[in-house]
């Protein structure tokens, strides 16, 4: 266990996650929204447009993109879970 800085709120917490337990629920929800959007519409490389469509901040979208390692292919990332 080590101290991590939450990617969402900036608080320090003890976990191996990217976000603190307080933000985890919302983060998981937004990640699902992101995934659903991408599955329906394909990946949108215009993060501002993507942010407007999903209501997720560009900062978090960037992080989600790193989680899933999207390279324009959805099928490759379908087995990846949070
Ligand atoms: Zn947090």
10 CA → ligand 1 middle, Å: 6
5 CA → ligand 1 middle, Å: 8
What is the pLDDT, as a whole number, of residue 51? Answer: 96
26 CA → ligand 1 middle, Å: 10
Q: How many CB atoms lie within 10 A of CB 64?
A: 20
Mean pLDDT, to the nearest integer, of 60-80?
A: 65
Q: Distance between CA 66 and CA 47 in Å, rounded?
A: 13
The mean pLDDT value of the chain amounts to 84
23 CA → ligand 1 middle, Å: 4
For the chain, the domains span: 21-77
Q: Distance between CA 21 and CA 10 in Å, rounded?
A: 12
Over the stretch 18-53, which tens digit does the pLDDT of each residue have? 899 999 999 999 999 999 999 999 887 789 999 999
The least confident of 32-41, 54-63, 72-81 is 72-81
- 19 Cβ contact list (under 8 Å, min separation 6): 6, 7, 8, 9, 27
Q: How many CB atoms lie within 10 A of CB 50?
A: 20
């Amino acid at each position: 266990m080590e101290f991590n800085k939450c990617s969402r709120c900036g608080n320090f917490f003890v976990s191996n996650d990217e976000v603190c337990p307080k933000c985890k629920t919302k983060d998981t929800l937004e990640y699902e929204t992101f995934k659903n959007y991408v599955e329906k519409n394909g990946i949108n490389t215009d993060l501002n447009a993507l942010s407007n469509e999903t209501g997720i901040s560009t900062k978090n979208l960037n992080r989600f993109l790193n989680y899933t390692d999207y390279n324009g292919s959805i099928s490759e990332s379908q087995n990846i879970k949070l």
